[in-house]
Amino acid sequence: MILTLKRGISKKEIKRIENKIRSFGFRPHISRGAKDITVGVIGENAILLKEFFESDPAVASIAQISKPYKLSSRQIHPKDTRLTVGNSKIGGGHFAIIAGPCSVESRKQIISIAKEVKKCGAKFLRGGAFKPRTSPYSFQGLGEEGLKYLAQAKKITGLPVVTEVMQISQIEVVSKYADVLQIGARNMQNFNLLKEIGKAKKPVLLKRGMSATITELLMAAEYIMSSGNSKIILCERGIRTFSDQTRFTLDISAIPVLKKETHLPVIVDPSHATGKRDLVPPMALAALAAGADGIMVEVHIKPDTALSDSAQTINIPTFKKLVKDISCIAKVLEKKV
């Protein structure tokens, strides 16, 4: 249920409404727009409280939230959410470029790549310290040692760090070093992990599962938000279809659908979606044109020697040209890069 409050209402009255909602066992969610202040009443069967607010002198109107995802819906939060991480912004007219290797391989490797992608125009550094791999014999990451190297790369370049959390036991240690906690596609519906990551209060990059619907992605975000963390970035990274020409099929249409449904920033990972480095630049540009708020791409100084995802990793010259092309299109779309 959404309460639209009367204009010019005092802070004292807003607090009274919040306390009134809590007194019934529900949770209030305040959203301040350009003209109106709305209060979402979060909880099962919240509409049953309608009669208790219809005659409240502070309430102008009441509407029911029709979406199963309450907190991430534009019904309760019409304006785009913009996240600020360090000096970097994403969403609300800002297009974020997240770049780096699939895996942190060494201190020298991650620092050298961080310097190069920063020089090209990246705003965030990505790199895996804990790696979920299809094969148990593939490189699994350096663990906390890799996190320390990422932190050192951040100290040198100033780039906020994005890295994956695979299980609840890793949240504390990853939070110590990273700025954005990534939930990978395989963990999108690991609900216990989502609940705990919501308590961490760090921004979360939530990837869409390879067989997940858009509603399921938003409901996964709802788990994080219902635990108290609204700083979420949604990531489209390709879904499984009958096509065998690419690693997955990048669902470009998911971008405008998500932008219509949710206020949360939406980015695209063309590296995992295609699995082919020559397809990464055109899919990244397509994502921008479709309305995405950013991209996350895998970049390596020597892609052919990368310990993981070599085939989908682009080199520095390719990344530099991609950023230049993004800047040109972003200018037309009136987005800041």
Q: How far apart are CA 67 and CA 115, in angstroms?
A: 44
Identify the band that residue 130 occupies on the pLDDT scale cut at 50, 70 and 90: confident
Domain 83-332 superfamily per CATH: Aldolase class I (3.20.20.70)
280 touches 238 (CB < 8 A): no
Q: How far apart are CA 110 and CA 95, in angstroms?
A: 23
297 touches 117 (CB < 8 A): no
Write the CA distances from 36 to 3, 6, 39, 77, 262, integer angstroms: 10, 8, 10, 11, 19
Q: How many CB atoms lie within 10 A of CB 245?
A: 9
Query: Which CATH architecture group holds 2-63?
Result: 2-Layer Sandwich (3.30)
Q: In this predicted structure, what is the pLDDT of residue 135?
A: 67
Q: Which residue has the higher pLDDT, 297 or 48?
A: 297
What is the CB-side half-sphere exposure of residue 186 using CA atoms within 13 A? 9
List all residues 6 or more positions away from 7 whose beta carbon is below 8 Å from its beta carbon.
35, 36, 60
- What is the CA 213 to chain-centroid distance, rounded? 16
List all residues 6 or more positions away from 192 whose beta carbon is below 8 Å from its beta carbon.
168
Kindly state the average pLDDT of the residues 308-313. Answer: 94
Sheet holding 2-5, edge to edge: 27-32, 37-42, 2-5, 59-63
DSSP β-bridge partners for residue 41: 28
Say yes or no to pLDDT of 137 above 60. Answer: no
Identify the band that residue 120 occupies on the pLDDT scale cut at 50, 70 and 90: very high
The domain limits of the chain are 2-63, 83-332
Q: Can you spell out the DSSP letters for 251-296?
A: -TTHHHHHHHHBSS-EEE-HHHHH--GGGHHHHHHHHHHHT-SEEE
Q: How far apart are CA 304 and CA 82, in angstroms?
A: 36
The answer to which of 56-70, 78-92, 148-162, 179-193 has the lowest mean pLDDT is: 56-70
Mean pLDDT in the chain? 93
Tokens 């996350």 belong to: 296
Kindly state the average pLDDT of the residues 110-132. Answer: 94
Q: How far apart are CA 312 and CA 131, in angstroms?
A: 16
37 touches 14 (CB < 8 A): yes
Q: How far apart are CA 36 and CA 261, in angstroms?
A: 20
Q: State pLDDT tens for residues 251-310.
A: 999 999 999 999 999 999 999 999 999 999 999 999 999 999 999 999 999 999 999 899
Tokens for 128?
A: 């895996």
Q: How far apart are CA 265 and CA 32, in angstroms?
A: 18
Tokens 């630049």 belong to: 281
What is the CB-side half-sphere exposure of residue 164 using CA atoms within 13 A? 25
Q: How far apart are CA 276 and CA 282, in angstroms?
A: 11
Give first-to-last CA distance, the chain, whole Å. 37
Q: What is the phi/psi pair of residue 91, to 5°?
A: 90, 165
298 touches 314 (CB < 8 A): yes
